[in-house]
Structure 1
Amino acid sequence: MHTIVIAATATLSVPPQVAYGILIDYREGHPSILPRPHFGELTVESGGTGAGTVFRVQTRQATGMQTLRMRATEPQPGRVLVESDLDSDLVTTFTVDPVDGGKGCRVTIETRWTRGGVRGWMERVLLPPLARPVFLHEMKNLEALGRERMAAKGW
């Protein structure tokens, strides 16, 4: 079995609580930062905010769109959000750490799964450099939405 890991980190100019609040908001915030066309619709099945939320999200694969059914947990509320696929070992972790005295934050997105055989080897070699820019785009969207929400509140 091959372990495939895709990760990216960016420093954002929004406070960690703003970024984290968007990430755990599966009804409005999180769906609006997903980069298109790499992601399709995100549909909440139950919950909607943080831990316990179950949702479906469409992701673009080489063969077309695939729907994943995910459950959110918060091992460290306010800092770490984990999305686990209910049908495989795929896990995406969002880690939000304060920087600049809490005026900004460093966000890391990491997705990890295992796959056997030649397909697993190919995914391990080919996918990280292709998917990293998608994660960076998602974080750029997160920062833009965070700034928009801060401006709306007069921050």
Structure 2
Amino acid sequence: MDWECRANVTVTDLEELQELLLVNIENNKHLVTGSVRAKVLKWGEDVTEFQPPPDYILMADCIYYEESLEPLLKTLKDLTGPDTCVLCCYEQRTMGKNPEIERKYFELLQRDFELEKIPLDRHDEEYRSEDIHIVSIHRKHMNPPS
């Protein structure tokens, strides 16, 4: 496939992983036609420097311990606008508390967001797996008070 897409991208992680993000940006800059920057993002904290809301948020493997759920959901609510599309990719884990944490995350998420599970046959053939899930997430459209 031969296509070009220009995007302004912000990759985020904790402070201790910023150096690795910068290495990855440097190693892949030849693939970028827009801009890429690395920023610290701590769930639950202020996100005003990331405004206006992005068009897309790509999340990978962020559902793993119960204490992180509320801060993660707060950050998603604060980061997203009415047109933001969030793609959440996660590995379904069946050991210990993982199934309960996953269930609680999606239950809490559905208070403010609409979810659509992307069917496995739409995943990349090379990387698809029965235990890897992708969910498209959008803010619920709120009706103005009458």
Indicate the structure (1 or 2) with the bigger Cα radius of gyration: 2
Shorter-chain TM band: under 0.3
Which has the larger strand fraction?
1
In the superposition, the TM-score normalised over structure 1's length comes to 0.25
- Structure 2-normalised TM-score? 0.26
Q: Which has the higher contact order (CA 8 A, sep 6+)?
A: 1
